[in-house]
Amino acid sequence: MKRLEVVLLTGSTIRQGMVIKGGRKLTEEYKIEAAYCLLNPKDYEKLGRPEKVKVKTDYGEVTVFARADECMFEKEVFIPRGPWANVVISPETMGTGSPMYKGMKATVESSEDDVLESRQLFEGFVKRY
């Protein structure tokens, strides 16, 4: 299985923001808009054009849907900020009150695992701590 070392970026998207208005974070619609990883098309090809990828950092791992996007640089991936990204970002705020949402070292590989619902992610997180 091919694994790529990448830089992880997270951030809000317009479509994601539209869905969460009114508290819809536990819906299938939100999963579609937030549980994915954008990859450069060349990296996507190197991974075998997977439907899903597992993103791992020193802080956790998460399986999300994979999407190729021409706007991404090679060896750079993007996950919308939210429950799926929160599994893999550092909780350290370095005194700013906000975690490091951009620039984390990560690996990405194709995955056959299920993309969990946000409620399942939360329940798994609570069990760890």
pLDDT (tens digit per residue) in 16-59: 665 666 666 667 777 888 899 999 999 999 999 999 999 999 99
- Overall domain count for the chain: 1
| C-alpha span between 39 and 10 (Å, rounded) | 12
b (16+ CB within 10 A) / e for 77-90: bbbbbbbbbbbbbe
CATH code of the domain containing 48: 2.40.40.20
Three-class secondary structure of residue 67 per DSSP: strand
Q: Which residue range is the domain that position 105 belongs to?
A: 3-128
Q: What is the pTM of this model?
A: 0.85
Q: CA 72 → CA 1, 44, 50, 77, distances in Å?
A: 22, 11, 17, 7
